[in-house]
A and B are shown apart, each in its own frame.
Chain A
Amino acid sequence: MTPTRLNALTDGVVAIVLTIMVLEIKIPAQPTLAAALEVLPLLAAYLLAFVNVAIFWNNHHHMMQSAHKVTGGVLWANHSLLFCLTLFPLMIRWIDEAGITPWPVASFGLVLVGSAIAYQLLERALIAAEGEDSVMQKALSHHLKEWASFAGYVAAIPLAFVSPYISVAIYVAVSIIWIIPDRRFERQA
């Protein structure tokens, strides 16, 4: 079975996830600069969530270039990833209402952890479908960046209770290392 429809569904869901997040941002209460400045932290949170969802989509895009086969397991792993990604708009809404406080910021990290685990499951399922010696298997043989990000997310969750700003700094740092998308697939192609 080819991945055409899996890609179409993923693109649809991710496009909506990315777009509905902006609905969570409240309009400045007054038509003044001061009121606009109050919305700034939330705009930054929105940007961070947007970039993180985009990173997952970019990597998914690159990885699926080498996929020829999908199985039931691949579909499930992909659904799990989409499930986690749909929770980002909820996190933005929560941060909007509660501010940069420990629980929302820690939950943001939890959603990232969930997404990263689902993405790993997707990688494994794709390798299983494509077989050993496939481009997929070769491209995915090094996991350094993924483990580094995963460690970052896991550390950020408890640190949010020390100071949520430390966690935000970690999220930003991890996002920066992914600005260059997964080169592994470009190298293989």
Chain B
Amino acid sequence: MNTQRLNSFTDGVIAIIITIMVLSLPVPKGPGMAALLPLTVLFAAYALSFFKVGIYWSQHHHMLQVARKVNGRVLLANLFHLFWLSLIPFLVRWVGEAGVTRDTVLAFGVIMLLCSLSFALLRASLIAADGPDSPVAKATARSRKGLITIIAYVVAIGVVFISPTAAIVIYFAVAALWLVPDRRFEQLVS
């Protein structure tokens, strides 16, 4: 089976996830600059979440460009990945109401960890569907960024209990790590 409908379904779900997050942003309580300042933190959380979802979509986009086959397991792995992504808007809403607290920062890390683990599962299921010589397997054979990301989130979850700020720094650092999307897929396509 080809990847077409899996892709369009994923695009639809992610388009909704990435857009409804803005509904969690409250409007400033007044027309002045003073009303805007308390929202800076939540706005930063929104921007971080938006680009995290964007990064996952970009990676999905790149990986699925070289994927040739999908089966039931791939669909399930993809759905599992989308499930964790869909919890990100919920977290933004929580940060909006409760602020940046230890528990909200912790929950963000847990969701991020599960997003990256489920993405790794999706990759594994694509390789299982298309064989060890498939383009996905070749392109990701020496993938370290995925592993570094998972380790970084595990570390961040531990660090939250000492300093939530340090955990937030890790979240931003991981996002920066993915600024350059996986080039191996681009090389494989061209």
Contact surface of A with B, Cβ cutoff 8 Å: 1-2, 4-6, 8-9, 11-13, 15-17, 20, 23, 71-72, 75-76, 79, 82-83, 86-87, 89-90, 93-94, 96-99, 101-104, 107
A71 to B184, CA, bound (A): 11
Q: How large is the interface on B (under 10, 10 to 19, 20 to 34, 35 or more residues)?
A: 35 or more
Known: A8-B8, A8-B11, A86-B50. A16 touches B31 (CB 8 A): no
The answer on a CB contact under 8 Å between A94 and B51 is no
Apart from the given pairs A94-B28, A103-B36, 16 other A-B contacts in the complex at a CB distance below 8 Å: A1-B65, A6-B61, A8-B15, A9-B11, A9-B15, A12-B12, A17-B19, A20-B19, A20-B20, A72-B62, A75-B61, A76-B54, A83-B51, A83-B54, A98-B27, A98-B28
CB distance from B187 to the nearest CB of A (A): 11
CB distance from A162 to the nearest CB of B (A): 15
Which residues of chain A are within 8 angstroms of B14 by Cβ–Cβ distance? 9, 12
The answer on a CB contact under 8 Å between A89 and B11 is no
A41 to B31, CA, bound (A): 16
Q: List 27 A-B contacts (CB under 8 A).
A: A1-B185, A1-B186, A4-B7, A5-B61, A6-B61, A9-B14, A12-B12, A12-B14, A12-B16, A12-B19, A13-B15, A15-B15, A16-B16, A71-B186, A75-B61, A76-B54, A82-B18, A83-B47, A83-B51, A86-B18, A87-B22, A90-B25, A96-B27, A98-B28, A98-B30, A99-B31, A103-B33
Partner of B186, one of A11, A72, A79, A98: A72
Instruction: Give B144-156 as 1s and 0s: 1 = Cβ < 8 Å from A's Cβ atoms.
Output: 0000000000000
A5 to B47, CA, bound (A): 22
CB distance from A98 to the nearest CB of B (A): 4
Known: A72-B58, A75-B181, A79-B58. A13 touches B18 (CB 8 A): yes
Which residues of chain A are within 8 angstroms of B186 by Cβ–Cβ distance? 1, 71-72
Known: A12-B11, A12-B12. A20 touches B23 (CB 8 A): yes
Interface assignment of B72: CB less than 8 Å from any CB of chain A = no
Interface assignment of B179: CB less than 8 Å from any CB of chain A = yes
CB distance from A122 to the nearest CB of B (A): 14
Contact surface of B with A, Cβ cutoff 8 Å: 7-8, 11-12, 14-16, 18-23, 25, 27-28, 30-33, 35-36, 47, 50-51, 54, 57-58, 61-62, 64-65, 179-183, 185-186, 189
Among all A-B residue pairs, the 5 with the closest Cβ atoms: A12-B15, A72-B181, A98-B31, A101-B31, A79-B54
Partner of B27, one of A12, A16, A23, A97: A97
